[in-house]
Amino acid sequence: MIDPIPLYHKMLQAMGPQHWWPADSKMEIVIGAILVQNTNWANVDLALANLRQATNLDPKQILKLSREQIELLIHPSGFYRNKSRSLLEVLRWFDQGNYRFDQMSTHYGSNLRKTLLSLPGVGEETADSLIVYVFDQPTFIADKYARKLFKYLGCKDTSSYHKLQTQIQLPTSFDFKDAQEFHGLIDEFGKLYLKNEQQFGQSFLKDFKLTIKFDRSD
């Protein structure tokens, strides 16, 4: 298992707090997490601006729109037909929980992630992003930047989201704010240094060694 805390502290010391997710509310995070799939934030911002103008990003107002209206509004984000379906289903799920994130978290308990993954268009990265940024629970988001970073740091298997995530061992002291910060640090680092291995070799992490924890049963 990999202990990510030394890496987290190194990045935080070098880059400073990121306070990362570009959103003004948790529901904007939910909507953004759906729209950002297979696109970039510039396109998402255009779609969010359309939704904001039409509904003020009020989920109840969005749910009053037709699929066709939503498709038109979110068109800049691409894959708008699939995303409109996913957005409606996810917002209906939150609506059933009265948008009370704490109560929903308590209600679903250890089944929260499984429940999120059962919603249309919600994969592992989206589910974990919602867990960290909306439900305020710590988990490691093994997105493409994380997989690339850990590959360059010598992690043997970063071939999939699941394979990297299961190698990361977060301590009980690592809270959701740390999880948010770590995700933000990795993504900002990725934009600067993870275009290729040569670029990574010019970063402050080029000589960093991962900390490996061994099970006593090994």
Give the three-state DSSP class for 25. Answer: coil
Band of residue 24 on the pLDDT scale cut at 50, 70, 90: confident
Does the pLDDT value for residue 214 go beyond 80? no
Compute the average pLDDT of residues 157-184.
96
Compute the average pLDDT of residues 185-209.
97
Domain 26-133: CATH class, spelled out: mainly alpha
Domain residue ranges of the chain, discontinuous segments joined by +: 2-19+139-212, 26-133
Does the pLDDT value for residue 217 go beyond 50? no
Tokens standing for residue 70: 């939503």
Residues 6+ apart with CB under 8 A from 33: 126, 129, 130, 133
**What sign for the dihedral angle of Cα 181, 204, 126, 166?**
negative
Distance CA 104, CA 99 (A): 8
**Exposure string over 199-214, b if 16+ CB within 10 A, otherwise e:** ebeebebeebeeeeee
Give the pLDDT confidence of 136-145 residue by residue, as tens digits: 999 999 999 9
Compute the average pLDDT of residues 169-178.
95
DSSP symbols for 135-183: S--------HHHHHHHHHTT-S--SSHHHHHTTB---TT--HHHHHHHH
Strand partners, 49: none
Does the pLDDT value for residue 216 go beyond 80? no
Helix (H) or strand (E) holding 212: strand 211-212
Give the pLDDT confidence of 43-77 residue by residue, as tens digits: 999 999 999 999 999 999 999 999 999 999 999 99
Does the pLDDT value for residue 22 go beyond 50? yes
Band of residue 218 on the pLDDT scale cut at 50, 70, 90: very low
Closest CA to 119 of 78, 160, 91, 77: 91
For the chain, percent of residues with pLDDT exceeding 70: 97
Asked if residues 103 and 97 have their Cβ atoms less than 8 Å apart, the reply is: yes
Distance CA 158, CA 44 (A): 27
| 22 against 143, higher pLDDT | 143
Distance CA 37, CA 118 (A): 17
pLDDT at res. 215: 58
